[in-house]
Structure 1
Amino acid sequence: MKDTTTMPVTIITGFLGAGKTTLLNEILHRNRDKNFLIIENEAGNINIDRELVKNSTKNTLFELTGGCICCSLSTELGTVLNSIILSSVIYDHVLIEATGMADAGQVINMFSGARIQRFFHLDSVIGLVDATTFMKRLPNFEEVRGQISKSNIILINKCDLIQQGELELVEHQLQTINPLARIEKVTHGKFMDTEILNSRCFDPVNLEKEIVDFTKLTFTQIPANNIHQIQTLSYTLNGEFDVEKISLWFDQFLKMNGDNVLRIKAILSIHDMNHKLILQSVGNDFHTSLGETWDNSDKRESKIVIIGSNMDETPIRNELLTLLV
């Protein structure tokens, strides 16, 4: 089933108080002609957010309570999605608002299964950032860094409450953690003309363009005073990979470096394959999809971007080179 007939899914993530529900209400207000499935997650047993969502009668709202959507409630989320499949009801868009402590990576991975992909496709992950508290919370809460690193679109909220110099510092830190994300500044969750829905961030064609554009940039060495030590490793490798060997390498690499790797995106040239293979990882898992076919004039080369910390660039490059056919 193609994306045109599957339901697009947007995940809204962000730490406590970042403004996720405000953004959700803004999306609903601007798209009153659409039929939404809204999945709300609250860490407590009582879902206060239900009373805050300005829902209309044409939308459907599901509540998940008593835990975090990414761990103890993942089964409940799967049950909700399965019930939608069995009901044969088609929604224009699915909005999932995760609790402030959720790891978006595990929610993303729920949509990698073949059955789920027959009915749903991930459109984007939107990360909300509270400009007033971000710099204080970043060193103290690993969840903040994880949410940022897994977002396709980052909205810096409450920009009107801090000075311009402080705002520039926040934006720079976000770019350091996730240089692949599109970053926008908003106030009260009002996202101006930014395309929030149907941005197709997980579409193989868009992923391919993003990786190509990104690997054209030149990177400088990490300054010694970078307290978070976020690295961006970018490789362009001429030649082709054996699909089984490179898949095994990525699997082992993520298992051995799972705590250090935040994100991987790659365009791979595979031996005896006419299509580009698009690979990306979120957390300790990676997923692949077919990109465009290689044109006869294309140079068969692979482009790999790895974002993380405490990684040694040269040994990784040498290992990848040994895998080339």
Structure 2
Amino acid sequence: MRTPINLFTINGFLGSGKTTLLKNVLENNKHLKIGVIQNEFGKIGIDGEIIKKDGLEIVEVNRGSIYCSCLQLSFISALKEMVEREVEYLIVEGSGLADPSNMNEILDALHSVMPNAMHYKGSICLIDAPQFLDQLEEIETVESQLIHSQLAVINKVDLVNTNKIRKIKSVIKEIKPDILIEETTFGKYDMEFLTKNLVEISPMHFGETSNSVDNKPKTLSMTFDKKVDRSKFKNFIDLIKKDCYRIKGFISTNEGFTKIDAVGPQVDLINSEKENLDSKVVFISKIGPQIIRPIFAAWESNFDFEMKLR
């Protein structure tokens, strides 16, 4: 009889550091056969480029939330595919706007077609220390992600003072009293959680997901085929960031290939170890399709060649 796969999920709002944590898990556990399912709202997957490597079992499920009815069948199919690939561990990285309240339904559906194929060990919620308290007030899914997790990892603690960390911990415990809490920077976290059954420490909560086709955020993808001036691209991002939940991607610049990562007021342009990728940027809009006009206006004020937006 096949040994059940150890299944973990990683949740956390846009820009909290989920993919960085996942990359660290993979780098520090090369002796384990770990599979990954990555979920993004956009048509183009960006985060998969960060962790892809030879031998990695990865499936991407894009164009919405895996917890929404619009993608549940695709999610279950991806879970079944990982069973067939015979991985030992499976980590599912949900989109930053995903609401995992109905994870129990997903597990029940999988069990009905593949009994005892997976052992759900729990969810890790990444907390963006500088942004969390504001996000909690503005965005419903931030609280849901926390309620339906067993371990909260407060990331980027180097960017806030001890009083704010203390406040964040207090708020987390008010929302989920039995949750475990850890702190980290740059997504560097003790991977010991892989050996634990987090659900035994902090049981699952059940509910209905708030993700639906009707409230799915507008996501746009930009591509272009010329090198850009890095400082001008930063100016372009600064003009539109207030209307976006998240901006991320890879671009070819006069200073080399660059990773773009913007959430809230923070904009990071980082030299990328990836090379020879097409320039592509994804925007997750706060204002729906109305974001299209500001993007084109900001582009035209900085660049004199065309890009494609879809």
Give the shorter-chain TM-score range: 0.5 to 0.7
After TM superposition, the structure 1 = structure 2 runs for residues 72-221 of structure 1, keeping only pairs within 5 Å, are: 72-85=70-83, 87=84, 89-113=85-109, 114-115=111-112, 116-191=114-189, 193=190, 195-202=192-199, 206=200
Cα displacement string for residues 256-301 of structure 1 (whole angstroms, at most 9, x for unaligned residues): xxxxxxxxx5xxxxxxxxxxxxxx532159xxxxxxxxxxxxxxxx
Q: How many residues were matched structurally?
A: 206
* CA distances 1:90-140 after superposition (whole Å, capped 9, x unpaired): 111001000001011223431134334421110120000000001111111
Query: Which residue matches 2:227?
Result: none
Q: In the alignment, is the contact (CA less than 8 A) between 1:17 and 1:130 conserved in 2?
A: yes
Return the alpha-carbon distance in structure 1 between the equivalents of residues 186 and 104 of structure 2: 26
Deviations 1:162-204 (A, max 9, x none): 011111001110011111110001111111x3622131123xx
Contact 1:74 1:107 (C-alpha < 8 Å) held by counterparts: no
Within 1, Cα distance between the matches of 2:174 and 2:35? 34
SS of 2:198's equivalent in the other structure is coil
Cross-structure match for 2:7: 9
Q: Which runs of 5+ in 2 are unaligned?
A: 210-310
For residues 236-273 of structure 1, give each alpha carbon's deviation from its aligned partner in whole angstroms, at most 9, with x where no partner exists: xxxxxxxxxxxxxxxxxxxxxxxxxxxxx5xxxxxxxx
Residue in structure 2 matched with residue 58 of structure 1 by the alignment: 55
The answer as to whether partners of 1:149 and 1:177 remain within 8 angstroms in 2 is: yes
Alpha carbons of structure 1 residues 20 and 108: separation in structure 2 relative to 1, 3 Å: farther
Whether the aligned pair in 1 keeps the contact of 2:102 and 2:208 (CA below 8 Å) is no
Look up the SS of the partner of 2:192 in the other structure.
coil
Report percent identity of matched pairs.
Answer: 29
The reply on whether 1:69 has 2:66 as its aligned counterpart is yes
Q: CA deviation at 1:81?
A: 2.1
Paired residue type of 1:17? G
Q: What do you get for the CA RMSD once the two structures are aligned?
A: 2.0
Higher relative contact order (CA 8 A, sep 6+): 2
CA distance in 2, matches of 1:143, 1:5: 34
- Residue type matched to 1:26 in 2? N
SS at match of 2:205: strand
* Matched residue type, 2:205: S
Contact 2:35 2:82 in 1 (8 A): no
Match of 2:207 in 1: 283
Structure 1 SS opposite 2:169: helix
CA distance in 2, matches of 1:201, 1:48: 29
Q: 1:117 to 1:158 in 2, by over 3 A?
A: farther
The residue type equivalent to 1:101 in the other structure is: L
Given that 2:25 and 2:191 are in contact with CA atoms closer than 8 Å, whether structure 1 keeps it comes out as no
Structure 1 gap segments, 5+ residues each: 211-264, 266-279, 286-325
The answer as to whether partners of 2:148 and 2:205 remain within 8 angstroms in 1 is no
Per-residue CA shift, 1:32-70, capped at 9, x if unaligned?
1111211011100000111111x3322211111111111
In the alignment, the residues of structure 2 paired with residue 112 and residue 198 of structure 1 have an alpha-carbon distance, to the nearest angstrom, of 23
Does the CA-based 8 Å contact 2:129-2:157 persist in structure 1?
yes
Change (3 A) 1:187 1:117: farther
- 1:225 counterpart residue number: none
- CA distance in 1 between counterparts of 2:14 and 2:126 reads 10
